[in-house]
Structure 1
Amino acid sequence: MPNPTMMQYFEWEMPSQHDHWQRLSQDVDHLKAMGISHLWLPPASKAVASQDVGYGIYDPYDLGEFPQKGGIPTKYGSKVDYQTAIKHLKAAGIKPLADWVLNHRAGADQTETFPAYPVDPFDRQHKLGAPRQLEGWTKFTFPGRGTKYSDFKWDWTCFSGVDYDQARDETGIFMIKGFKKGWAHGDYVAPENGNYDYLMFADVDYSNDRVADEVIAWAKWMIQETGIQGCRLDAIKHVDSRFIYRLLKEIYQDYPEFYVVGEYWENDTPALLHYLEQTDQQLQLFDVVLHFNFHQAAVQGADYDLRELFSGSLVVTHPDAAVTFVDNHDSQPGQALESWVGESFKAQAYALILLQAQGLPCLFYGDYYGIAAGEDYQGMAKILDKLLSLRRHHAYGEEIQYFDAPHCIGLTRQGDIDHPGGLALLVSNAGAQEKRMSVGPSHAGEYWVDCLSNQAPVQIDDQGYGIFTCSHTGLSVWLPKKD
């Protein structure tokens, strides 16, 4: 599909009505018409409760099939509904992407007693005294599923740490003691807090070969059982990168066209590039740096220098690896990683990722359909539909960037043989602005119009330049009048 576009098809506050997969099946034709090529689905595995978004993962093999954790369906529906939605997406030419939560397990069925060290939460390498016998929730027997699909049972030897001692009713971070135990080597997880292997719940220990083999077997089962054609890897800065390298290598041997994007939540491009090197560039990454630049632009308004908007971003330094986005379920209001791009700059941010040549842009469900818990935010489907249409029909050919003024930046696309029209984009954070930009000498003499607001047409001169204006809204997209 030309100009591919990803969409994240969920937001954090969606109600737990077990009908999301069914709603998706009904929405497939619409998504195809929007130009969506990749659809990122929420975590499908059974979590600690039916209302859990899916990141409190309990049984990866239970996709809404077994009576566990309060019911059979997950928050989003049944396994059959999930499989049906995937079939509909594939029939429409849309690549379905599962959300794989590999870092931890939650909601164990039993406690176990084992030795563990309490550690400093701000320096997890620093042990706060001698090891002690701790009672932790680490025994997973999956009584509702039994041994169907896998007879692997998780116990304390499968984990590197926990956050709760049942015997003492004490929360903290506890590193499990044992042969070849401890956090992942510091070079293979994020260095924050001394070592950021531990994130939450019972932390999976990928130095345990049995565990690594089981998770890889599950990943291949998931692909075969559901028909997914790609995945989003959650929280990979906390997972041993050596395991991710092995996982991807083994998947690609059997499924060479499988698509993978990782969430490495770090506002630091060198860290992202280092991770790409560690995993032999077998995946793409979300451009977190660009997201935070958008967030700052929204917060600072006219005080933000738009010339810095793409500074340090992955889409600039490593465009083939970049999935660009404006917001997601973690950055939305009320979440731990809240960094919401306010409405004062959100449309401009989407225009930039959708109409530029580089990167795979990702549209957030909450920005299109609204956020269930926020009555004041109903999404912005109207403007997004216009921008998606511009991406499908006009955002082609050579790109010239004009990131040369603190309050007004722009770019032009020259068009190609199949899409000769081209476009001109202007973004402002200080009201109406203007900029002289080239759309190519092939357009000399044409009149161009702003398709987002009622501005006077612009005539292209003999050299292919026009003096384009940005409306007071801060966003204008110009097309040849004939288009």
Structure 2
Amino acid sequence: MKKILLLLLASTFSFAQIDRMEPPNWWADMNLNQVQVMFYGKNIAQNKVSVSNGVVITDVRKTENPNYLFVTIDTKNISAQQLVFTFQNGKKSFAKNFEIRPRKPQSKFRKSYDSSDVIYLLMPDRFANGNPNNDSSNDTQEKGNRSEPGGRHGGDIEGIIKNLDYLKNLGVTAVWPTPLCEDNDERHSYHGYGQSDVYRIDPRYGTNEDYVRMSQELHKRGMKNIMDYVTNHWGWQHWMYKDLPTYDWIHQFPGYSQSNYRMTTQFDTNASQIDAEKCMDGWFVKSMPDLNQSNPLVLQYLTQNAIWWIEYADLDGFRVDTYSYNDKTGIAQWTKAITDEYPNFNIVGEVWMHDQAQMAYWQKDSKIGAIESYNSHLPSVMDFTLHDAFGTVFNEDKAQWDKGIIKVYDNFVNDFLYPNPNSILTFIENHDTQRFNHLYNDIRKYKMAMTILATVRGIPQVYYGSEIGMKGNKDNGDADIRHDFPGGWNGDSNNAFTDAGRTSEQKAYHDFTAQLLNWRKNKQVIHSGKTTHYVPENNVYVYFRYNENESVMVVVNNSTEKQTFKTSRFKENILNYKSGKDVLSGETFNLQNDISIEAKSSLILELN
């Protein structure tokens, strides 16, 4: 009996060898059934490993770092159950439980976001502070300090949950928070892109369970949860960076070398190899070590982590940061693995380029990529060229060959380059660009831009605070375009989350946005209809969205003068329709007569 007790004590003591096990669990009935379980602990690789219940270990991988052991198990046809990994080194042994959980019904075929949605991009730290008790935590370096523009301000998951009804009433159908996983940088960690633990929600935002609850609360309201996923890099405080599994887990030169940011080198047939490598393998910034997706262990780790979050938090989609800086073969394999697991799952990649052909290269089934037999498998890219046009066009009052509203028209001229233009993310601004309302400071121009955003092809994304007229100048630093949402903190003098708390200016912005987005919610003709547009005249852009059942005529007057135009020019789309009722004002226009439109304004006419 005494001997057994001593063995049990030894087993309990030895258990501490495992500091981390990732993923912490898996699910039954998954397409990805060769699961690579990473064990981390002091000299863990010295142990022999086995697993219970007849489960087959198909691979055991040791690296030059003895503190890691990568064990691949075959979970095909295994039901939900508790497995036990046993580690043995001579006479000493210890065990670690690993759960195979039951999968949610129809998880594989979950519906993702698409062109019927309106996505709301928010920065959790700057949106709302629902739980002031977690503004700082004992196990993260940077403490809450709202007085510092680039500091931690205390916004959190609870703040998002408390304001979901505000977003639903605004007309939003999907929420994209910037990364919520732990970012333990000592300063300016609020943005979340320098992650230090990709299996843990940052405690200053809440817990993993809070994140699951946020998904549940979104789903109760018929809304979707989009995770901002980072495949290209981690933060320099990532626990694994401090004890790398392999030298080539990250790109080494040796050590740090910054990216040249020249994404064109990824498909330029004339590019030098060194330039292509510097783009793809160079670090985004010095504090963000660049992950090596060409290393199979890294690629499997990232793939499993992404799928783990989808299953664990019941996610509805991804936005992938700096997509085109990844190893392009590795990121294509990562993307395909996820969309193989979830055929309807949408992923939008940040491909920040200024040429449609170059952006189209990165979309799934691109004919441009096919020239070199490349397919990213990426369903969606971000329409940065439309964003570029939005940034200048509304100050170009006089129509010229390449100035004025023609820029917006020209953006859609190149839709033939995209395999699926309706699955492109459109936006007037985001968390890395100038605030639209800073560029223009004119609600008329905001209304024109939002009218276009809400009625053209693609998946519209709005940036938090724009809907109440929030401004900010990126030239003053990123913190200036990431202000706290007024009313998100106890004691705020202005609460823009409520109708009574909004200033008259905030109310004007908000009410227009809510009217427009709520109208869009149920308009299938906008979600999936065809488009015909007309070359602008006198800085007036006219286009139609239509299907077999209905037609919408959109008119945008970007000139500084009232314009009148003949409707006969548009007879191929007006057809037998007699009148059009403006969604925004309720005014009805006779389509047999000339139409007049005020300067710097727009019409959305539902044709009857």
**TM-score normalized by structure 2?**
0.59
Matched, 1:61 2:142: no
Determine the structure 1 residue equivalent to 2:534: 402
After superposition, give the CA deviation of every residue in 1:76-107 in whole Å (9 maximum; x if it has no partner).
Answer: 43322221111111232322110011111223
- Structure 1 residues 332 and 415: alpha-carbon distance in aligned structure 2, compared to 1, 3 A threshold: same
Paired position in structure 1 for 2:449: 349
Paired residue for 1:411? 543
CA distance in 2, matches of 1:61, 1:23: 21
Distance in structure 2 (CA, Å) of the matches to 1:162 and 1:340:
41
CA distance in 2, matches of 1:414, 1:312: 19
Letter of the 2:275 partner, please give it: G
- What SS is found at the alignment partner of 2:290? strand
Specify which of 483, 486, 491 is matched with residue 373 of structure 1: 483
> 1:159: which partner in 2?
250
Q: Deviations over 1:183-206 (max 9, x none)?
A: 999536997993322222211112
Contact residue 293 and residue 310 of structure 1 kept, 8 A: no
1:308 to 386, 407, 424: 407
Aligned twin of 1:119: none
Partners of 1:92 and 1:101 lie apart in 2 by 27
Q: Distance in 1 between matches of 2:241 and 2:530?
A: 57
Secondary structure of residue in 2 paired with 1:104: coil
Rounded to whole Å, the distance in 2 between the matches of 1:451 and 1:246 is 45
SS in 1 for 2:293: coil
Give the superposed CA RMSD.
3.8
Give the corresponding residue for 1:297.
393
Shift of 1:383: 2.1
* Deviation by residue 1:331-357 (Cα, 9 ceiling, x = unmatched): 135xxxx9975345332122112113x
Measure the CA separation in 1 of the matches of 2:524 and 2:540. Answer: 20
Equivalent positions of 1:83-482 (< 5 A) are 83-108=212-237, 139-140=241-242, 154=245, 156-161=247-252, 173=258, 187=266, 194-195=275-276, 196-197=279-280, 198=282, 199-200=284-285, 201-276=288-363, 277=369, 278-302=374-398, 304-313=403-412, 315=415, 317-318=417-418, 319-333=421-435, 342-344=440-442, 345-356=445-456, 358-369=457-468, 370=470, 373=483, 380-392=509-521, 396=525, 399-413=531-545, 417=549, 420=550, 422-437=552-567, 438=570, 440-444=574-578, 446=579, 448=580, 450=582, 452=584, 457-461=588-592, 466-479=593-606
Q: Which amino acid aligns with 1:96?
A: N
Q: Distance in 2 between matches of 1:422 and 1:185?
A: 38
Secondary structure of the structure 2 residue equivalent to 1:391? helix
CA shift, 1:162, in A, is 7.6
Separation (CA, whole Å) in 2 of partners of 1:163 and 1:310: 48
1:307 maps to a residue whose letter is: I
Q: Which runs of 5 or more residues in structure 2 are unaligned?
A: 1-112, 127-145, 147-151, 364-368, 472-481, 487-502
Q: In the comparison of the two structures, how many residue pairs are matched?
A: 407
Distance 2:258 2:524 in 1: 49
Offset, 1:252: 2.1
Q: Is the 8 A contact 1:96 1:230 kept in 2?
A: yes
Is 1:77 the equivalent of 2:206?
yes
User: Does the CA contact (< 8 Å) of 1:347 and 1:383 recur in 2?
Assistant: yes
Structure 1: give runs of 5+ residues left out of the alignment.
65-71, 111-137, 142-152, 166-171, 176-182
Shift of 1:173: 3.8
Q: Is the CA contact (8 Å cut-off) linking 1:57 and 1:106 kept in structure 2? A: yes
Matching of residue 4 in structure 1 with residue 131 in structure 2: no
Q: Aligned with 1:103: secondary structure? A: coil
C-alpha distance in 2, partners of 1:392/1:229? 18
- Aligned equivalents of 1:471, 1:212: Cα separation in 2: 55
Deviation at 1:211, TM superposition (A): 1.3
Corresponding position of 2:103: none
Question: Are 1:24 and 2:160 matched, yes or no?
Answer: yes
Matched residues in 2 for 1:2 and 1:12: separation?
23
| CA–CA distance in structure 2, aligned partners of residues 60 and 80 of structure 1 | 15
Q: Report how far residue 243 of structure 1 moved.
A: 1.2
TM-score (norm 1): 0.72
Tell me how far apart the structure 1 counterparts of residues 184 and 201 of structure 2 sit (CA, whole Å). Answer: 13
